[in-house]
Chain A
Amino acid sequence: MLLKSVNYVRPESVTEALDILSSNEGAAPLAGGQSLTNVLKHRVASVDLLVDISALSELRAITRAGDGSLEVGACVTYDEIDHSPDVRAGHVILAREASHIEDQQIRNRGTIGGNCCLSDPTNNLPPLLVALDATMNIRAVGGTRHVAAEDFFKGYFLTALEPGELLVSITIPPIPVGGGAGYVSLSVATDSKTIVRAAARVRVDGVIEEVRVVLARVASVPIRHHAMEEALRGVAPTAELVRAAAELIGSDVEPISDGHGSSEYRREMARVVARRAVLAAIEEGGRK
């Protein structure tokens, strides 16, 4: 068969889903299925039991707290993020990035949780969530734990999730006053496969007070570039200084070579997109 024969269950609640996941070794959660179905089609993973969590209302909410922080359920689709007034109120960059992930059919089904849990280095949202200092809210039968996005992505198709655990939502803190976020991708063609990308969040108060710079497609997971951040902290938000800081991206970054770009090109382009992302974040902060 195109898909090997597999069992399927649709639990009524997160609690039930967790029970099933923890008591079946070959079980895997199915959300939008935009990656998992392909993985199964290519027969590179063996799953005995698909636990369909896509309809669980507990996983489908978007809530905006009084402090401006945003909590997005793991099974919220890209299209819902794109069209959510709550997202657009304070985290427009998340809506913008969700709005051009692949095509409309995929955006109707693909979920933020799936995008993160697959931990594919080409996925759009992980670097942004690391830059925005998001927290991944994880539940298991025994309780809930919270992992910083920065610590969630562990490697190619590998996350901090333990067997039996489920990512239930993602909390994104408010973008600070005087701050902004930027996200720049260098893609094949207009908006096709990503060669390298960067996401940044800054807070400026005369000088750059806070900054997070995240590079993607230069390693198996999104990485913060601490040296560049260090160089930016406390300096004036000028193009020259940002350029100088980006030049620190060097041999510490060892990207892969593939058909979409060589390692050398990716490294050089990482400097460009990192600078442009930081400048975009500064500019957005300045507009507020």
Chain B
Amino acid sequence: MSATSRSKAATRERVESWTGKSVPRKEDGRLVQGEGSFIDDLGMHGQGYAWFVRSPYAHARIVSVDPSAALALEGVYAVLTGEEAREMCVVPFFQIAPGDGARIEEWPLAVDKVRYQGDAVAVVLADSRDTARDAAELVEVEYEPLAVVVDGVEAVEHAAPVLHEKAGTNVAWHGVYDYGDIDFALEHADHVIKIDRLHFHRFSSTPLECNGAVVDWDKGSGVIDVKSNIQMPMFAAMVIGPSLGVAMNKFSFSSRDIGGAFGNKIAFYPQIAALALLSKKAGRPAKWTEYRTEHMLSSTHGNERTFLDIEVPVMADGTILGVKARAVDDVGAYLHYEPLGAVIWSQVLTGCYKFKNVKIDFTTALTNKCPVAPNRGYSRMQQLWMLERVIDIVAHELDFDPVALRKLNFVQPEDYPYQTPNGCVYDSGNLPLSLDMALELADVDTWRRRQSEMGTGTGKRIGIGIGSTLDSGTNNFGQARIVNPDLPFSGNGEAAFAKLDLYGEVNINLGTTPQGQSHETTSAQVAADILNMSPNDVTVTIGFDQSHNSFVGFSGTYASQFAVTGLGAVMGATAKLRDEILEVGAFALGAPKDDLELRDGACLVKGDPSRSIPFIGIANLIYTNNAVLPSELSSKIDLNCRYVYVPPFEVPDVERKMGNLTLTYASQIHVCVVEVDEETGVVEILSYVAVDDCGKRINPQIVEGQVHGAVGLGIGAALYEAFEYDEDGQLQEPSFYEYHAGTAMDIPDIRTGNIESPSPFTPNGAKGMGEGGGAAVHTICSALQDALGKDGAVVFDSHNPWERVYQLLQSSQGDEPRGVRVISREGGAA
């Protein structure tokens, strides 16, 4: 393999520090040659193929499920219905929600009722995928359709059909986040901007690889072997374990390469539970590879959030005093990972800004739509988008320069570490400098000139947009208690092993589930620096494996944290290993430990390279030649070093909803220039710049790759991608025919810039940065707002396909209600 041959050459390269270099990815040799091991590549002996029978109705009573015709088909092994699954379960799935939400009953398959189009009522196992599909068509399900609710606000504020009778309400969670004194600020501000409604739409990251699993419930051992591409396996085990009536040590979750996940692959545990039961019933492993339309209908969508009655107090100089709003989060038909979204947004309560008074009345609403689950920028990008819309609308309505207004209200470089009104601590950064860098890279002065030169009658308009956003990383899971005080969660962590193997090989092993974040490469870089050797000689075992890896309950890959938690664990474990190697070396070389150093896979006496012992010699002494060692050494050292990185967190104050909810805050400042065709609403991106500050970069090229991905997702969401339901709850975009995910043809060249403000709170100065805070969504909306010009319409939705842009342009010309009012007190300059 070429990567290997390259590695031999690179071994001789001497580098001051591997950390911070764009080391070529160790993963690439395997992945670009089609030699990755993805879920559909895996199988088990004697496996059958599963196909789910899914509801065509958004809300209906299940009158009967008759599998007899399916079972009569040759090659069909078994059919599992919802009712049978319930009988095989001990209790419904564990719910995070307290109160009414806790009474929601979810089983592996729908029982009595279906609650969204795509809800699974049965699952078939057969000798081939095609037979299973044919058989699924033969399962006769009789439905009695019920009234449907597809709008979150309607679901909770009007007489709407209730999805879960046992909960008795569509309100899955409600709470008020109240800091400072927003009413005082509203009374005393020079201006109050009132915005009736802002809507953050539903979309997803649509990973290239859909969900999949091979599940075997082994009769002899009682172990449920789950090979899958789920990205937070222990969370799945926690939710479904009690339901299936099995202990944690009866699960064996494992994963290999994952073809994109973005949070979307956290929550397909109902499917895994159903496959486990199906396997138990059929007495053979069940393999399921999700179809694209199945993925779009019934996997996961991102949170859709409506902000109502937004009020913003602003002083005459542009100082923003706070924000008051109601937020209704539409999470679909079941609570998958929800209602954690009801607190996670508050990690970025005030975004990049310094205001102190905030009151958000937050409701999690159930609707007859696909359940949501984390999606890159989970729950925070909705809040950040709202705040960026607020900033631009304030600038637009009160005639402030959007750049100056941002700079005035930004958290300033000297404020760090900065504590937000709800007790979060922004670790480091330089937002004004990042903004200046972005404006300069985009050559905004030239574009502003062109914008003003572009007279009316050309049919074109230029818009310049700014998106200032934060990527909060490394969750304090204690925030779950703000949602439900009874949850025994807090803190975070990740575990790693560093070992020296029998022939002196260095091996790093950890329980994360990388999906493109290059854990093999970056783990090898930081370990190589500690052991003073080439990263090419460090083997990193990737993929979660419950029976082999070391892990903690939070292990996985999500929420922008690997650079801190994962690498923190790798660094800790490798430092322990280094110490053990030196201790054995001291014995072998007859020199004090302090006089030794490690270099290129050997331990040697400083200044006397003739006195050295290679790693294979060290390993030999511990593994196969231990009688030569004094017992105090052989009993103490095993060259297998485990370390759990634990970030410094405290349990939040649940009553006041206060606490340090995340450890790091990377920032992204994006600037873009768009050209809008007035006749059609078509938007062309003329220039796009992303400036990232994620502290110390472990591998700049990998950071850049993550930035590109986040920009692509955001542009797609802002202009093309939406999951919309009609009034009957039918998804309008169930395939890539209707759902246009942005492609290379749509995404412009991206100019990137970087500032490094190292985090004082992390072991390596790095901050998590993969999610990107939805910056591109904010930026495109901001540019559209700018293009609409003074007295123009307000960009009220995060999704702006050509038709909506066209409508905004049309409504600019009239004086119909714009959904925004400015109330100015006497003496305040308007």
A residues near B (Cβ < 8 Å) are 1-2, 186, 188-193, 195, 258-262, 265, 268-269, 272
Contact = CB atoms under 8 A, between A and B. Distances in A.
B133 A2 contact: yes
Nearest to B731: A259
B164 to A, nearest CB: 29
Nearest to B745: A190
A186 B740 contact: no
Contact of A188 (B128, B131, B732, B740): B740
B682 A186 contact: yes
Given A1-B134, A189-B746, A259-B732, A272 B740 contact: no
Tell me the interface secondary structure of chain A in the complex.
Answer: loop
Given A195-B802, A259-B738, A189 B732 contact: no
A27 B745 CA distance: 39
Contacts of B806: 265, 268
Nearest to A4: B134
Q: Give the size category of B's interface with A.
A: 20 to 34
Interface string B802-815: 11001000000000
A128 B720 CA distance: 27
Given A188-B801, A189-B720, A192-B740, 10 more contacts: A1-B131, A186-B682, A188-B720, A189-B746, A190-B746, A195-B802, A261-B803, A269-B680, A272-B679, A272-B680
Contacts of B801: 188
Q: In the A-B complex, list the 7 residue pairs whose CB atoms are closest, starting with the nearest.
A: A1-B130, A259-B732, A190-B745, A265-B803, A192-B740, A189-B746, A190-B746
Contact of B740 (A189, A258, A265, A269): A189
Nearest to A2: B130
A190 B680 CA distance: 13
Contacts of A269: 680
B724 interface: yes
Interface in B78-134: 128-131, 133-134
B740 A193 contact: yes
Max chain B Cβ within 10 angstroms of own Cβ: one of A195, A259, A265: A259
Interface of B: 128-131, 133-134, 679-680, 682, 719-720, 724, 732-733, 737-738, 740, 742-743, 745-746, 801-803, 806
Contact of A186 (B133, B680, B719, B732): B680
B73 to A, nearest CB: 12
A92 B278 CA distance: 58
A193 B719 contact: no
Contact of B745 (A2, A189, A268): A189
Residue of A1, A190, A191, A268 with most partner-chain B CB within 10 A: A190
A260 B522 CA distance: 42
A272 B737 CA distance: 25
Contacts of A272: 679-680
Contacts of A191: 745
B679 A189 contact: no
Nearest to B719: A189
Contacts of B679: 272
A98 B86 CA distance: 55
B130 A186 contact: no
A189 B803 contact: no
A256 B129 CA distance: 37
B210 to A, nearest CB: 16
A258 B743 CA distance: 22
A260 B129 CA distance: 33
B437 to A, nearest CB: 29
28 contacts: A2-B129, A2-B133, A186-B680, A186-B802, A188-B720, A188-B740, A188-B801, A189-B719, A189-B720, A189-B740, A189-B742, A189-B743, A189-B745, A191-B745, A192-B720, A195-B802, A258-B732, A259-B724, A259-B732, A259-B738, A260-B738, A261-B803, A262-B803, A265-B803, A265-B806, A268-B806, A269-B680, A272-B679
